[in-house]
Chains A and B, each alone.
Chain A
Amino acid sequence: MAITGQIALTVLMGLFLVGVAAWLARVENWRSYTPVGGGTTGGETAYGSDEKPAGLIRWLTTVDHKDIGLLYGAFGITAFVVGGLMVMVMRLELFDPEMTLISNTYYNSLLTSHGITMLFLFGTPIIAAFANYFVPLLIGADDMAFPRINAIAFWLLPPGALLIWAGFLPIPEVIPAQTGWTMYTPLSAGVGSGNQANAGVDLMLLGLHLTGVSATMGAINFVTTIFTERGENVSWANLDIFSWTILTQSGLIIFAFPLLGSAIVMLLLDRNFGTAFFINGGSPILWQHLFWFFGHPEVYILVLPPMGLVSLILPRFSGRRLFGFKFVVYSTLAIGVLSFGVWAHHMFATGIDPRLRSSFMAVSLAIAIPSAVKTFNWITTMWNGRLRLTTPMLFCIGFVQNFIIGGVTGVFLASIPVDLILHDTYYVVGHFHYIVMGAITFAGMAGLYYWFPVFAGRMYQRRLGKIHFWLWLVGSNVTFLAMILLGYGGMPRRYATYLPQFATLHQVASLGALVMFVGGLIWVYNFVVSWLEGPRVEDADPWNLKDNGLRTNEWAWFERKRETALADGGEVDEADTE
């Protein structure tokens, strides 16, 4: 039964990937739009759509930051769907302790792959999607500083994903990694009687390495772009908040990801060439130090740009400026620096020297302040505003709500005595899912809905957008609250089964996941249908930002693009030039 289930799932996954390939092959039907440069400096306004080849070749060869942004977006969303389907299988398996839908080892594989897919193949790329598309527009640059490096950085991702998922593909003798996303040694070093000496783990490590190289190249590009390619009037004083967070995030990537790469190489050497970094007399704890020195900044790599998105979008629907803009800028920078000084709070239970442990606790408490300050600013912005509850705004508010819950549950974990009790329980799982799903993904959705008219030139179905939001808000809170309670009850992480007393809460969690799954289906349907057939945007300012004097540069670019497209002799339409 278990074997059949695995084969069925593998076939499903394969079919899905074939479907993705087929879809990509059809993209030549995508309407191409006039590639007006984002530049604001007059001069060359439009350099003719015939410069871009048509069809698939366009997407394979493009160095236009907007096209690459769309590619990143498509990739990220694909990965999100894959990771989401993986967790749905896991939640089904956990619906009953006796369930044998999949084997325990296959559960471990899905667990590992779900984490890595969501963090490295969805989280980082979807942020890069927004950043590629909008940072040049927001800062008035013609394109990224290094357009070709930009393209290379993206094209490293699909092979990376294939390597990470290699174990699920029908390749003989290769099994998926079952190390957990943290890849703790000695398990991940392949020693002992387990099956983790398999080449599937090596392939995953190599894939991870590729995505790390990709992220680093992208980060160097963003730092250079924001430092050197800003438009005439875009001084440091006029830089928007999203670009500030991308700048800080890129700084973090440049320091954190090469370290992950090095650690992965060390692990590969240990696995294949008999070195002794982590095993054979080396220290397994060394891996945890190296991993978390990358891993904790990674948390902020994932959360800072979403904070920037919320700081950008939330005031637009509150009808006023962001309160304390510079507070948000400085606290972003503070988070960036301090994030490198807290890594061992993931390791309180490793028997580390209590003096060092207390230092990490001190910095962990200090880093809570800048996050709290941001929340304070968002709330103050809303307090004095008049709120328009559009779908992007709802997702921003959902972000704030889930971020508060995730933050409060997290502060407790920063305290050593509490952590020692709750370590490795579902409490931790609930806490970080509130942040990565409840906050980060919600902000990503806010961005997708907010800029959907820019991407598609069409509007999504508002009612479906709101249904999506409410299903996700309810589903995420049901699931992750159940996880927090499971943790209080002592349910350990990572297990494919559990004691009978945890059954009810696990079923509640699975139910919440199902609610989110339905919301996800509605979201995909809405985006696909609206992209193809939604009502065309009639106005370059679909959110009426002009009314409150809150229109930002990317919407001004959108307006110019529409005007140029009309001048090109496209559709005859009322150009609503002010």
Chain B
Amino acid sequence: MAARTFDRETLLDLVVNAVPLFIMAFFVAAFVLFAPFGFDPLASLLQFGLIVAPFVALLVLTYFSARAITDAERGGPVFLPGQTTPAEARPVEHEAEAEEAGAAEESEPAASGDGDA
């Protein structure tokens, strides 16, 4: 499902949040397997809750923010961040072929919606 929702580029960007997710999952697994301080209904519930809650929250927020950014990229012109209104600003190609973003400035004619036209 994720593969259809996000392209490869976005998934690559999301790796940055996969790392802390992985660390938290690792500790959950470690605490399940080794349980260095034994098991107690209340304390253990809290113990896992304290890791699982941020895990889930981070997952949800990452998903929705990635959706918002991806939809925005598909639905409108993409500028360099924070550079929409200067007279010389031009939309850049989609990130996938952003390599020539610098060159695009000369080669590409001004698209519509040029801020303060």
Taken together as a complex, chains A and B put the C-alpha atoms of A415 and B112 apart, in Å, by 54
Residues of chain B with a CB closer than 8 A to A373's CB:
16, 19
CB-CB contacts below 8 Å: A549-569 with B: 549-553, 555-557, 559-560
Closest residue of B by beta carbon distance from A367: B20
Taken together as a complex, chains A and B put the C-alpha atoms of A340 and B56 apart, in Å, by 13
CB-CB contacts below 8 Å: B16-51 with A: 16-17, 19-21, 23-24, 27, 31, 36-37, 40, 43-44, 46-48, 50-51
Q: In the complex, are the beta carbons of A363 and B116 less than 8 A apart?
A: no
A488 at the interface (CB under 8 A from B): no
A-B contacts, CB under 8 A, total: 185
Q: In the complex, are the beta carbons of B62 and A236 less than 8 A apart?
A: no
Binds B, one of A146-154, A184-192, A330-338: A330-338
Q: In the complex, are the beta carbons of B86 and A552 less than 8 A apart?
A: yes
Report which of B27, B72, B85, B115 forms a contact with A236, defined as CB distance below 8 A.
Answer: B72
Q: In the complex, are the beta carbons of A362 and B86 less than 8 A apart?
A: no
B76 at the interface (CB under 8 A from A): yes
Report which of A231, A240, A321, A358 forms a contact with B47, defined as CB distance below 8 A.
Answer: A358
Report which of B23, B69, B78 forms a contact with A369, defined as CB distance below 8 A.
Answer: B23
A281 at the interface (CB under 8 A from B): no
Q: In the complex, are the beta carbons of B115 and A555 less than 8 A apart?
A: no
CB-CB contacts below 8 Å: A40-54 with B: 40, 42
Closest residue of A by beta carbon distance from B20: A366
Q: In the complex, are the beta carbons of A330 and B13 less than 8 A apart?
A: yes
Taken together as a complex, chains A and B put the C-alpha atoms of A215 and B96 apart, in Å, by 40
Take A235-B75, A326-B13, A551-B88 as given contacts and tell me if A359 and B51 are in contact as well, using a CB distance cutoff of 8 Å.
yes
A243 at the interface (CB under 8 A from B): yes
Q: In the complex, are the beta carbons of A553 and B82 less than 8 A apart?
A: yes
Report which of B20, B43, B86, B116 forms a contact with A338, defined as CB distance below 8 A.
Answer: B20
Closest residue of A by beta carbon distance from B74: A237
Q: In the complex, are the beta carbons of B82 and A238 less than 8 A apart?
A: yes
CB-CB contacts below 8 Å: B57-103 with A: 57-58, 61-62, 65-66, 68-69, 71-73, 75-89, 101-102
B53 at the interface (CB under 8 A from A): yes
Binds B, one of A267-275, A348-356, A432-440: A348-356
CB-CB contacts below 8 Å: A198-246 with B: 231-243
Q: In the complex, are the beta carbons of B88 and A546 less than 8 A apart?
A: yes
Take A239-B81, A355-B44 as given contacts and tell me if A366 and B24 are in contact as well, using a CB distance cutoff of 8 Å.
yes
Closest residue of B by beta carbon distance from A340: B54
Taken together as a complex, chains A and B put the C-alpha atoms of A356 and B47 apart, in Å, by 5
Interface flags, A317-341, vs B, CB<8A=1, else 0: 0000110111101110110111011
Residues of chain A with a CB closer than 8 A to B47's CB:
353, 355-356, 358-359
Closest residue of A by beta carbon distance from B95: A326
Q: In the complex, are the beta carbons of B69 and A549 less than 8 A apart?
A: no
Take A40-B115, A330-B13, A338-B58 as given contacts and tell me if A369 and B20 are in contact as well, using a CB distance cutoff of 8 Å.
yes
CB-CB contacts below 8 Å: A454-485 with B: none
Q: In the complex, are the beta carbons of B46 and A237 less than 8 A apart?
A: no
Report which of B36, B48, B69 forms a contact with A237, defined as CB distance below 8 A.
Answer: B69
A138 at the interface (CB under 8 A from B): yes
Residues of chain B with a CB closer than 8 A to A369's CB:
19-20, 23
B110 at the interface (CB under 8 A from A): no
Residues of chain A with a CB closer than 8 A to B108's CB:
none
Taken together as a complex, chains A and B put the C-alpha atoms of A358 and B20 apart, in Å, by 16
Residues of chain A with a CB closer than 8 A to B113's CB:
232-233
Q: In the complex, are the beta carbons of A330 and B82 less than 8 A apart?
A: no
Distance of B92 from chain A, by nearest CB (Å): 10
Report which of A235, A337, A353 forms a contact with B54, defined as CB distance below 8 A.
Answer: A337
Distance of A198 from chain B, by nearest CB (Å): 38
Distance of B37 from chain A, by nearest CB (Å): 5
B7 at the interface (CB under 8 A from A): no
A578 at the interface (CB under 8 A from B): yes
Residues of chain A with a CB closer than 8 A to B23's CB:
362, 365-366, 369
Distance of A386 from chain B, by nearest CB (Å): 14
Distance of B78 from chain A, by nearest CB (Å): 5
Main secondary structure on chain A at its contact with chain B? helix
Count chain B residues whose beta carbon lies closer than 8 angstroms to a beta carbon of A. 55
Distance of B87 from chain A, by nearest CB (Å): 7
Q: In the complex, are the beta carbons of A334 and B58 less than 8 A apart?
A: yes
Residues of chain A with a CB closer than 8 A to B82's CB:
138, 238-243, 312, 552-553
Q: In the complex, are the beta carbons of A355 and B40 less than 8 A apart?
A: yes
Q: In the complex, are the beta carbons of A238 and B84 less than 8 A apart?
A: yes
Residues of chain B with a CB closer than 8 A to A242's CB:
82
A406 at the interface (CB under 8 A from B): no
Q: In the complex, are the beta carbons of A333 and B62 less than 8 A apart?
A: yes
Take A353-B43, A552-B86 as given contacts and tell me if A237 and B72 are in contact as well, using a CB distance cutoff of 8 Å.
yes
Taken together as a complex, chains A and B put the C-alpha atoms of A342 and B57 apart, in Å, by 14
Closest residue of B by beta carbon distance from A372: B19
Q: In the complex, are the beta carbons of A363 and B54 less than 8 A apart?
A: yes
Taken together as a complex, chains A and B put the C-alpha atoms of A138 and B53 apart, in Å, by 34
Q: In the complex, are the beta carbons of A578 and B24 less than 8 A apart?
A: no
Distance of B43 from chain A, by nearest CB (Å): 5
Residues of chain A with a CB closer than 8 A to B115's CB:
40, 140, 231-233, 556
What are 29 residue pairs bridging A and B, where the CB atoms are less than 8 Å apart in the complex? A40-B115, A140-B84, A231-B115, A233-B84, A238-B72, A241-B82, A330-B66, A334-B61, A337-B61, A338-B20, A341-B50, A355-B31, A356-B47, A359-B46, A359-B48, A366-B21, A367-B20, A369-B19, A369-B23, A370-B16, A546-B88, A549-B83, A550-B83, A552-B82, A553-B82, A556-B85, A557-B85, A560-B116, A578-B87
Q: A334-B58, A341-B50, A373-B16 are in contact. List 20 more A-B contacts (CB 8 A).
A: A231-B84, A232-B115, A235-B75, A236-B65, A321-B101, A330-B66, A331-B16, A331-B17, A333-B65, A340-B54, A341-B53, A358-B36, A363-B24, A363-B54, A370-B16, A370-B17, A551-B86, A552-B82, A552-B86, A556-B89
The 3 residue pairs across chains A and B that have the minimum distance between CB atoms: A240-B82, A235-B72, A362-B27
A interface list, Cβ under 8 A from B: 40, 42, 138, 140, 231-243, 312, 321-322, 324-327, 329-331, 333-334, 336-338, 340-341, 353-356, 358-360, 362-363, 365-367, 369-370, 373, 546, 549-553, 555-557, 559-560, 578
B interface list, Cβ under 8 A from A: 13-14, 16-17, 19-21, 23-24, 27, 31, 36-37, 40, 43-44, 46-48, 50-51, 53-54, 57-58, 61-62, 65-66, 68-69, 71-73, 75-89, 101-102, 105, 113, 115-116
